Each structure stands twice: as structure tokens, then as C-alpha cells.
């Protein structure tokens, strides 16, 4: 007689699965590996005895003088084991300052040869007490464990941040392989500082949004005799935000005839109320083939309600971003300054006049931190002349200085921040009419601590009328983390009183410089980041009121700034809710 079989639930088997142990990435002990100090005597290194939480030795790094580049002062390790593209690494270390001011460092996992791609570039900061950091990342390529060349990678702590003295201990870097979800590891501060539901910044941001982005609204319903109508049913629906929720667009895709172009237009209309011109107004493209395409695109935008258009860029002053003949002029020895100035000013005149009435904002200068060739030839004060000329062409243009590296990378790229602020100061001191600073937001890997982001908003808003996030995307993190950071960063930005726009640097992977960061995949599948974007803008920050008027015939509520339609019975009226105005509307019912 056959023995009956026994069915074992699959759940029992799942409990027997054993996760592979992570591998120590260091091929030598940490204090034997991190021995190469670059940048002395600006920076010094000492190995010291400490009473740390679980360790007794630490590195003490003292930055005495800043260097030109962020990577000039660093402590490095080259003895690393092989890693595969997509493997999950977790770097753990403790940090403290020896002084009353915060200390900051960037921990970098970097390819050993050009282009020196970085699997991780995480900036962290803390005060006098030891603080543990646990930073997950995925290797961007497969490396063989060699000590040099394109198949190698190395580790480093960059300290070219500020004059400081910091201590680092308890270092460990583990490779968990490709199949581990970092969310399952219980990492401290995961996925980024400030992500917790009870983070202090959330309540403060919500309070600011309620105060600065909304206003009281009164809708009075009257009968044909002019008498208030109590108890009248009324629906007041928001139609469009006043705040600019924008994306960069490609004019060619916008004007295309295929199915992707049609979907591109449909999703643009559904998800945004403002656009930035990504490439068509860049000087070399504009002069050779893009001017006509821009004009056609701007007509479509105007016809479809996009009345707020951000133009990018009048002067990108690095030689590599200039027309060939201007590059030739810059290589001359000596440079004919009068001819060069005439060429630059002529371009500003032409592009300014062609876009007058078609755009509302201009990045007059882009990325002066590492694009300096025109200023080297004509002097830094020339930047102010470009702003003055743009203002004379069309006084209605809002004019911006735009740069990257100010809020990204942990928010401690002091060299970049100081250079942006210096450029702003030079322009203003020479009479340049700067309306705002554009803060790019290209985040890759570990996102910036949200408390630090707020400090940076305050810093750059101090001396200008407005600030904007001009080029936002998040890459090299898990899709859910990308969505969470998009939601949180957008919330913090919307809560700042001087922030008047937020621009994604593209929204579809089929036309995006970092496809994985797009709101839509190549096949138009929505990503979690899109859902986060829509949930905030069209639900949490969207006003849709339905109710009855009171005894005085008035319905009262607080609404977000923007355009509305009010409806009672067959009567409809439009209303614009604006700051500093008495936002009142009367509906006279049709007899």
C-alpha cells in the first residue's frame, strides 16, 4: 500500500532560505587601506585613539586651507575587492566635529580612470557628538578589484568643504550582492535624512504652505434682483495653479506627428502648467537649425494655455558651449575684445527680440562655476552687461543666474556655492538686474538631507527676489526612493516664500538625458515619481469646494492661488485667486 504523501506549505520552505553573507569590500584593514592623503599641507591626517561607540581608533582630518576643486583634499583607499554592476553596497562610518561648528565630508566610491564615474558621492555633516552614517548604493559598473585603470574603483573621504577638523571611525563597506533590498536592512537614516514621517521639517513646511500659498475666498450668490441667496448650491473648482509646476521640453518631440509625440503633448497638458525650453535656445543650436522650431513650438504652447515659459540659455560662457566662430575668437592671441563683445551682444539682441512675447523668463547665464571662458576674456563685470541688455530688450523678462552643485551632492560643495554667490555679487555690484537664482537639482545616489536643503534655500534667497528649482531629477536610487524624495523635495520647495517655480528636466524616458529619472518609462508606463508629483499638485494642493451659501448668501473657504470656475445652477463665472488681493466673486443667477 502506498504511503500517503504529505503536503508541506510553501511558507515553510521560504523560511529556510538563507541570505548570503555580505562581503567585506576592503582587501586590507581600513587603517592600512586609507593611507593616501592628497592635498597636504592644506589638509593633514593623524590616526588617533578614541573612545568611540564600538571602536577605539579614528582618523583626524584637519582642513587648514581650501583648494580649487572639491576632490583636491581627500583621504583615499585603493585596495578594494571585485564588485558587479548592480551589487548593493552599504558604507558605515561614524563622524564627529572637534569644534563647535558642524564638520562635513563627502564619501565617494569612484572609478579608477576617466571618466571617473561615481557609484556613490554622499555628503554628510554632524556636530561634536559621534553620529553613525549607513549609506546604501549600487555599483554603477563591474570592477575586477585591480588597483588602477578603468576596471578598478577606489574609496575616498573628501574634506575640501570648509576650514574644519573632523574625526572618522568605525568604517566598514559591505557588498550585499544584487538581490538585496536596502529597505530590508534596517539602515539608520534610510533612505535619506529627513525621510521619516515625524521629521521636524514636515509640520513647518505644511504651516508655511497654508500661509503663503492660499488665501481666503468669498463667493456671493445673488438672484436676478440682486438679493443674496442663502442655501444656494455652489461648486468652485480649481483649473490651474499660479505656481509654476514645469518640465523641460524638446521642441522637436512636441511638434512631431507620431504616436509618441501625441502622447507627449497629452501628458504635458495633463501634468504641467509651465515649460522650460531644454535645448532649442542654446546658442549653437539656435543659430544653425532650432530658431524656426522654437517659434512653431511657442505658438503651440501659447494656443494651449502655456503662458509661462522659461528660456534656457542666453549665455553659456564656456568655450565648449559656444558657436565655432566664437571659440575661434577665444583662441586668438590676443583676443579681439571689441569683436568678441560685439558678437555676444548681437546674439543677446537677436535671441531676446525673437523670444519677446513668447517667453516669460530667461537663464541669462548658465553654470559660471566651470564655464568661464568669456569672463576670462572680457572680465567678470561683463556678466552684468548681459543682464542689462536682456532687461532693455524686454523689461517683462524675469532674469536668472542658473547653476548646478548648490543643493545636490549633500549640499556641502562649498567651492561651488561660493562661486555661485560670488557671481551673483559681481553682477549685482555692477548693476546687473538679477531677478532670481536658478538652483539645478540633478540628484544621483544619496539625496541631500532635507534640513540642509532648507538652509540652502534660505542662503540663496537672501539677496534676490525669487529662487527656482530649474532642472530637477533623481537617479541611481530605487524607484520608490526616487518618488519619496521627489515628493519631499517638492514639498519643501513649495513651502519657501521666494520659490516661484519647480522644473523637472524632462518627463519621458524617450526624451530624457537620464532616462531612469523620468516620470514615464520609454513605453509610457507611469513611475512612482509621477504618482507622487500628481498626488501633491492635483490632490493635496488642489482646491475643489462644493457647498451651500450661508444666510448672507456667501460661501467662504481658503483656496490655493490660481484660476477657478464657480458654478451655481446654470450660472458659471471664472475667478483668479491671487496673493494680496480681496478674492471675491459674485454670481448672479439666471432667472
Each residue's pLDDT tens digit, 369-378: 999 999 999 9
Per-residue pLDDT for 360 more than 60? yes
Q: Calculate mean pLDDT across residues 215-220.
A: 98
Q: Is 461 helix (H, G, I), strand (E, B) or coil?
A: helix
Q: Which residues pair with 400 in a beta bridge?
A: 363, 436
Cα distance between residue 366 and residue 373, in whole Å: 13
**Residue 18: predicted pLDDT:** 52
pLDDT at 14: 39
* pLDDT over 60 at 17, yes or no: no
Task: Report the CATH architecture of 245-529.
Answer: Alpha-Beta Barrel (3.20)
Which pLDDT score is estimated for 95? Answer: 97
Q: Which fold has domain 23-185?
A: Jelly Rolls (2.60.120)
Average of per-residue pLDDT across 420-444 = 97
pLDDT of residue 222: 96
**Amino acid 122: pLDDT:** 87
Alpha-carbon Rg for the chain in angstroms? 28
What pLDDT is attached to residue 2? 39
- What is the spatial distance between Cα 573 and Cα 400, in angstroms, rounded to a whole number? 36
Mean pLDDT of the chain: 94
Angle between helices 414-429 and 382-393 (to 10 degrees): 60
Q: Where are the domains of the chain?
A: 23-185, 245-529
For the chain, the residue count is 591
Q: What is the pLDDT of residue 70?
A: 86
**Angle at Cα 133 formed by Cα 131 and Cα 136, nearest 5°?**
175
User: What value does the mean pLDDT take over residues 480-499?
Assistant: 97
* pLDDT tens digits for range 312-322: 999 999 999 99
Which tops the pLDDT comparison, 377 or 123? 377
**Which residues lie closer than 8 Å to 386 by C-beta, 6 or more apart?**
314, 315, 344, 348, 364, 365, 432
pLDDT the model gives residue 19: 62
Q: Which three cell numbers stand for residue 556?
A: 467662504
pLDDT in the model for residue 414: 83
**∠423-242-358 over CA atoms, to 5°?**
65
pLDDT digits (tens, 9 = 90+) for 563-573: 999 999 999 99
pLDDT at position 68 is 86
3, pLDDT greater than 60: no
Q: Does residue 265 have a pLDDT over 70?
A: yes
Global confidence as pTM: 0.89
Burial label, 556 (beta-carbon count in 10 A; 0-12, 13-18, 19+): middle
Q: Do domains 23-185 and 245-529 have the same CATH topology?
A: no
Amino acid at each position: 500500500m502506498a504511503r500517503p504523501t504529505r503536503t508541506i506549505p510553501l511558507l515553510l520552505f521560504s523560511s529556510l532560505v538563507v541570505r548570503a553573507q555580505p562581503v567585506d569590500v576592503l582587501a586590507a584593514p581600513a587603517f592600512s587601506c586609507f593611507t593616501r592623503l592628497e592635498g597636504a599641507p592644506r589638509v593633514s591626517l593623524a590616526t588617533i585613539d578614541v573612545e568611540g561607540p564600538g571602536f577605539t581608533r579614528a582618523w583626524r582630518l584637519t582642513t587648514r586651507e581650501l583648494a580649487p576643486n572639491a576632490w583636491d583634499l581627500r583621504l583615499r583607499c585603493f585596495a578594494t575587492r571585485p564588485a558587479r554592476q548592480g551589487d548593493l553596497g552599504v558604507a558605515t562610518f561614524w563622524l564627529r566635529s572637534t569644534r563647535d561648528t558642524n564638520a562635513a565630508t563627502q564619501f565617494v566610491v569612484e572609478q579608477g580612470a576617466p571618466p571617473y564615474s561615481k557609484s556613490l558621492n554622499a555628503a554628510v555633516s554632524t556636530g561634536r557628538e559621534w553620529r553613525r552614517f549607513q549609506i546604501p548604493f549600487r555599483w554603477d559598473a563591474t570592477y575586477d578589484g585591480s588597483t588602477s585603470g578603468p576596471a578598478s574603483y577606489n574609496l575616498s573621504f573628501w574634506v575640501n568643504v570648509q576650514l574644519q577638523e573632523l574625526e572618522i571611525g568605525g568604517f566598514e563597506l559591505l557588498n550585499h550582492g544584487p538581490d538585496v533590498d536596502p529597505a530590508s536592512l534596517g539602515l539608520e537614516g534610510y533612505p535619506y535624512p529627513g525621510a521619516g514621517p515625524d521629521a521636524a521639517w514636515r509640520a513647518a513646511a505644511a504651516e508655511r504652505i497654508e500661509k503663503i500659498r492660499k488665501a481666503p475666498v468669498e463667493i456671493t450668490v445673488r438672484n436676478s434682483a440682486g438679493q443674496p441667496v442663502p442655501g444656494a448650491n455652489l461648486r468652485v473648482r480649481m483649473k490651474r495653479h499660479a505656481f509654476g509646476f514645469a518640465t523641460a521640453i524638446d521642441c522637436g518631440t512636441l511638434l512631431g506627428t507620431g504616436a509618441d509625440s501625441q502622447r507627449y503633448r497629452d501628458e504635458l497638458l495633463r501634468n504641467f502648467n509651465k515649460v522650460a525650453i531644454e535645448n532649442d535656445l542654446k546658442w549653437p543650436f539656435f543659430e544653425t537649425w532650432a530658431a524656426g522650431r522654437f517659434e512653431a513650438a511657442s505658438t503651440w504652447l501659447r494656443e494651449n494655455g502655456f503662458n509661462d515659459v522659461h528660456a534656457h540659455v542666453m549665455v553659456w560662457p564656456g568655450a565648449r558651449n559656444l558657436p565655432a566662430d566664437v571659440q575661434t575668437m577665444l583662441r586668438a592671441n590676443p583676443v579681439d575684445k571689441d569683436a568678441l563683445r560685439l558678437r555676444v551682444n548681437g546674439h543677446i539682441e537677436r535671441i531676446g527680440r525673437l523670444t519677446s512675447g513668447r517667453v516669460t523668463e530667461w537663464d541669462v547665464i548658465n553654470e559660471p562655476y566651470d564655464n568661464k571662458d568669456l569672463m576670462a576674456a572680457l572680465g567678470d563685470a561683463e556678466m552684468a552687461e548681459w543682464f542689462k541688455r536682456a532687461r532693455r530688450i524686454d523689461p517683462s523678462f524675469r532674469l536668472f543666474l542658473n547653476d548646478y552643485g548648490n543643493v545636490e551632492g549633500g549640499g556641502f560643495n562649498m567651492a561651488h556655492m561660493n562661486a555661485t554667490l560670488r557671481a551673483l555679487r559681481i553682477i549685482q555690484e555692477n548693476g546687473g538686474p538679477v531677478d532670481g537664482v536658478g538652483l539645478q537639482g540633478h540628484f544621483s545616489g544619496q539625496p541631500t538631507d532635507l534640513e540642509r536643503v532648507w538652509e540652502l534655500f534660505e542662503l540663496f534667497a537672501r539677496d534676490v527676489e525669487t529662487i527656482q528649482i530649474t532642472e530637477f531629477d533623481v537617479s541611481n536610487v530605487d524607484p520608490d526612493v526616487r518618488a519619496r524624495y521627489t515628493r519631499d523635495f517638492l514639498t519643501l520647495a513649495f513651502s519657501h516664500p521666494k520659490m516661484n517655480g519647480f522644473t523637472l528636466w524632462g518627463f519621458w524616458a524617450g526624451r530624457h538625458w537620464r532616462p531612469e529619472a523620468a516620470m514615464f518609462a520609454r513605453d509610457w508606463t507611469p513611475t512612482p515619481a509621477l504618482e507622487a508629483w500628481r498626488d501633491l499638485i492635483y490632490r493635496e494642493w488642489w482646491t475643489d469646494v462644493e457647498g451651500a451659501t450661508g444666510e448672507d448668501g456667501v460661501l467662504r473657504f481658503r483656496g490655493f492661488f490660481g484660476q477657478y470656475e464657480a458654478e451655481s445652477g446654470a450660472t458659471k463665472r471664472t475667478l483668479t485667486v491671487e496673493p494680496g488681493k480681496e478674492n471675491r466673486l459674485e454670481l448672479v443667477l439666471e432667472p
